Amino acid sequence: EDQVTQSPEALRLQEGESSSLNCSYTVSGLRGLFWYRQDPGKGPEFLFTLYSAGEEKEKERLKATLTKKESFLHITAPKPEDSATYLCAAGGNAGKSTFGDGTTLTVKP
């Protein structure tokens, strides 16, 4: 059975304090590893897709990386507006995405 585990469950950072979020996955035939951002009262917003181990993608202060067992979302010098819940999902056979529970990030000014 496909499984995705995210850690930590919650992360509190000071503005400018860099850190990483973890996503461990067990999926048959990975077709893509996806990162989404969800703000309160809104649907998840697509951030990145990673397809193979060693791949990296960047967008502003965010960088996503992928190994054969896990993905990291690195946040460099975060700002309060980066506060959100970050969701990881692994796309397996038949294209079905299995989601993790998410990491709720709070960045204090």
Query: Does 42 engage in binding with other proteins (CB under 8 A)?
Result: yes
Binding pattern for the stretch 2-41 against other proteins, x by CB under 8 A and - elsewhere: --x--------------------------xx-x-x----x
Minimum CB distance to other proteins smaller for 17 or for 45: 45
Minimum CB distance to other proteins smaller for 32 or for 61: 32
By C-alpha distance, which of 85, 95, 109 is closest to 23?
A: 85
| Binding piece for other proteins, criterion CB under 8 A, among 10-18, 44-52, 64-72, 75-83 | 44-52
Query: Does 44 engage in binding with other proteins (CB under 8 A)?
Result: yes
Token pair listed for 56: 């990296």
Q: Minimum distance between the CB of residue 46 and other proteins, rounded to whole angstroms?
A: 5
Write the CB contacts of 78 (distance below 8 Å, at least 6 apart in sequence).
13, 15, 16, 17, 18, 19, 61, 105, 107
Query: Does 102 engage in binding with other proteins (CB under 8 A)?
Result: yes
**Helix (H) or strand (E) segment spanning residue 104:** strand 103-108
Q: Minimum distance between the CB of residue 93 and other proteins, rounded to whole angstroms?
A: 9
